[in-house]
């Protein structure tokens, strides 16, 4: 009797964790659009799981990993209660499911890899039954299923956020470790080839995924005005525009906080990376430099740390131009930092050719645009046009914006406006300029930069995917598939622009918080991997 009771007590926690919901998944076929070429309906399927779908991730065996999460009635806020499960749509059955506390844990999903992160504890779940395949200590920043590796930091170990580990995804064991700082977050990760990553994080770090081999260049890319000994570290999950859903391959950013909230910490005091043949240009708070991709420093030029901020590099001929914006990132938003300036350097030697410093420390560049030899500098309240050359800048014009709105950025090539039957790419409109305001409006100016109108948001669509034949132009409610030759619509459907794509299939959350799936194979003669995200 005692043995039976002991077995029952041991079984109860497992049964509670993997208890099956009484609700059975539902699937409905629905018409989601129309193919104008054949005048035939486009169909998809809607899947419901008894609880709002927070994330969905198709697995290689055609099953779905699902994150369900409760939502407060009549509010846009998610609660911390929910479930995770793997569902097989072919059989209509769930392989497994368990309760999940979003306040304590996070899932990272990529291909058939399911990692559960809880503080500094990491475990990989078996997609077939949800049980742990292994457990280890560390915080996963990036998963590489094809290479069988994950980049992690064991923040409770000796290395902390300075030593990055390569974890074997088969057994959770450390394969290699090397210096790659991560305390202030990664600004970017780019793959140089199938097996080598370039990480921008307090410098540049080239890392071969399988064995960690590579090189590092240290740079200062943050500034702070607090005593770090009095500050704790919080791990914040940040979504990036990587393959898959918002949590697929998500990095973890360690951001100093105090009892009163965020500290006076300025991040992203660095530039974009500019490639030329087998070399790379990069600027940070203290230096601008050029390096070969095998780790050799070709040249390095010191910068004034009191002036340098977030910057943009671009190259024309043998000249490297640096636009120092005069702001950095604080609490996720642009904030004044440093002094705006524009400089030019000899790309071969690093010799400074000129530097023009702006005296307006209270203002900063919010964006820039290059047209021929003209450089357009956008502030929150004005626009300057300069002709640039290796010898310096010549101001051609300056316009004060009398709109009552603060300017944020020039329109990108992705934005289209639907007028009558055609879709116009706004960046190609030679008669007008389009500028985003900080209030979220799109302002239309004539060539004299006089305000013409605020563009109706209902006609705006973003090019969120394209292949050899078609563009997918969408907004929050719908998508027009247009022919790339004339931008005329060939199909219309209810896919929003923030849908997640896996191969030819798109997934998006409906207003009832179920998930809809739509296969757009007829319009995808060429396609890549998974992209997109489901908004919170």
**What pLDDT shows up at residue 80?**
93
Of the two residues 527 and 168, the one the predictor is more confident about is 168
**What pLDDT shows up at residue 22?**
54
Which of 221, 227, 286 lies closest to 256, judged by CA? 227
Report how far Cα 168 is from the mean position of its chain's Cα atoms: 25
**What pLDDT shows up at residue 511?**
87
Report how far Cα 398 is from the mean position of its chain's Cα atoms: 34
**What pLDDT shows up at residue 232?**
40
What are the phi and psi torsion angles at 230 (to 5°)? -95, 10
pLDDT tens readout for residues 59-88: 998 899 999 999 888 777 899 999 999 998
Strand-by-strand arrangement of the 374-378 sheet: 367-371, 374-378, 382-389, 392-400
**What pLDDT shows up at residue 484?**
93
* Local confidence band at 360 (pLDDT 50, 70, 90 cut-offs): low
The CA–CA distances, whole Å, from 206 to 161, 186, 293 equal 17, 13, 8
**What pLDDT shows up at residue 255?**
39
CA 158 – CA 154 distance, rounded (Å): 8
CA 377 – CA 398 distance, rounded (Å): 9
pLDDT tens readout for residues 19-29: 445 567 889 99
Burial 158-181 (b: 16+ CB within 10 A, else e): eeebebbbbbbbeebeebbbbebb
**What pLDDT shows up at residue 23?**
64
Share above pLDDT 70 across residues of the chain, in percent, rounded to a whole number: 86
**What pLDDT shows up at residue 253?**
35
CA 239 – CA 55 distance, rounded (Å): 13
Residue in this structure with the two tokens 């626009």, named with its chain if needed = 383
pLDDT tens readout for residues 440-458: 999 999 988 888 999 999 9
**What pLDDT shows up at residue 513?**
87
Say if pTM beats, i.e. exceeds, 0.85: no
Residue-averaged pLDDT of the chain: 86
pLDDT reading at 262 higher than 70: no
Say if CB 209 and CB 215 are below 8 A apart.
no
**What pLDDT shows up at residue 530?**
43
What average pLDDT does this structure show over 128-144? 96
**What pLDDT shows up at residue 361?**
64
Residue in this structure with the two tokens 């659009």, named with its chain if needed = 33
Q: Which fold has domain 106-264?
A: Lipocalin (2.40.128)
Q: Which residues contact 312 (CB under 8 A, 6 or more apart)?
A: 271, 272, 322, 323, 325, 368
Burial class of 7 by CB neighbour count within 10 A (0 to 12, 13 to 18, 19+): exposed
**What pLDDT shows up at residue 224?**
82
CA 130 – CA 96 distance, rounded (Å): 6
What average pLDDT does this structure show over 44-71? 92
What average pLDDT does this structure show over 258-264? 49
pLDDT tens readout for residues 280-325: 999 999 999 999 999 999 999 999 999 999 999 999 999 999 999 9
Say if CB 284 and CB 221 are below 8 A apart.
yes
Query: What are the domain boundaries of the chain?
Result: 106-264
* Local confidence band at 194 (pLDDT 50, 70, 90 cut-offs): very high
**What pLDDT shows up at residue 529?**
46
What average pLDDT does this structure show over 158-171? 92
**What pLDDT shows up at residue 406?**
87
Dihedral sign of CA atoms 111, 117, 268, 222 in order: negative
């Amino acid at each position: 009797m005692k043995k039976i009771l002991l077995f029952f007590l041991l079984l109860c926690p497992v049964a509670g964790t993997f208890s099956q919901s009484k609700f059975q998944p539902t699937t409905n076929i629905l018409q989601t659009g129309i193919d104008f070429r054949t005048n035939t309906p486009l169909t998809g399927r809607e899947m419901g799981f008894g609880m709002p779908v927070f994330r969905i991730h198709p697995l290689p065996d055609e099953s779905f990993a699902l994150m369900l999460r409760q939502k407060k009635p009549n509010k846009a806020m998610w609660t911390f209660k929910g479930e995770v499960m793997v569902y097989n749509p072919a059989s209509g059955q769930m392989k497994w499911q368990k309760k999940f506390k979003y306040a304590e844990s996070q899932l990272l999903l990529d291909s058939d890899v399911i990692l559960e992160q809880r503080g500094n504890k990491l475990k990989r779940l078996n997609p077939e039954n949800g049980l742990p395949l292994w457990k280890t200590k560390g915080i996963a920043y990036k998963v590489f299923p094809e290479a069988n590796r994950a980049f992690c930091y064991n923040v409770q170990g000796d290395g902390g956020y300075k030593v990055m580990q390569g974890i074997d995804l088969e057994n959770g064991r450390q394969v290699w470790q090397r210096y790659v700082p991560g305390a202030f977050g990664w600004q970017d990760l780019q793959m140089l080839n199938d097996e080598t990553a370039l990480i921008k994080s307090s410098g540049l770090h080239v890392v071969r995924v399988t064995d960690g081999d590579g090189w590092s260049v240290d740079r200062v890319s943050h500034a702070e005005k607090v005593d770090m000994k009095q500050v704790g570290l919080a791990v914040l999950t940040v979504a990036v525009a990587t393959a898959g859903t918002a949590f697929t391959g998500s990095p973890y950013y360690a951001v100093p906080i105090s009892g009163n909230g965020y500290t006076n910490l300025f991040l992203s005091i660095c530039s974009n990376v500019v490639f030329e043949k087998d070399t790379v240009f990069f600027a940070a708070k203290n230096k601008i430099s050029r390096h070969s991709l095998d780790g050799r420093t070709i040249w390095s030029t010191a910068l004034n740390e009191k002036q340098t901020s977030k910057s943009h590099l671009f190259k024309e001929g043998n000249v490297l131009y640096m636009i120092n914006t005069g702001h950095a990132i604080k609490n996720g938003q642009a904030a004044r930092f440093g002094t705006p300036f524009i400089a030019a350097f000899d790309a071969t030697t690093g010799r400074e050719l000129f530097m023009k410093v702006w005296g307006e420390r209270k203002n900063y560049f919010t964006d820039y645009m290059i047209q021929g030899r003209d450089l357009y500098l956008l502030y929150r309240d004005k626009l300057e046009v300069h002709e640039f050359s290796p010898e310096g800048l010549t101001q051609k014009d300056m316009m004060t914006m009398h709109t009552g709105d603060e300017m944020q950025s020039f329109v990108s090539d992705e934005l289209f406006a639907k007028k009558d039957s055609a879709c116009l790419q706004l960046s190609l409109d030679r008669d007008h300029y389009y500028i985003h305001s900080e209030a979220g409006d799109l302002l239309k100016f004539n060539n004299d930069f006089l305000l013409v109108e605020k563009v109706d948001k209902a006609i705006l669509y973003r090019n969120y995917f394209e292949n050899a034949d078609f563009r997918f132009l969408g907004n929050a409610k719908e998508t027009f598939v247009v022919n790339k030759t004339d931008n005329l619509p060939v199909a219309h459907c209810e896919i929003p622009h923030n849908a997640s794509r896996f191969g030819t299939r798109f997934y998006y959350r409906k207003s009832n918080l179920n998930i809809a799936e739509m296969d757009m194979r007829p319009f995808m003669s060429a396609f890549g991997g998974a992209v997109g995200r489901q908004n919170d």
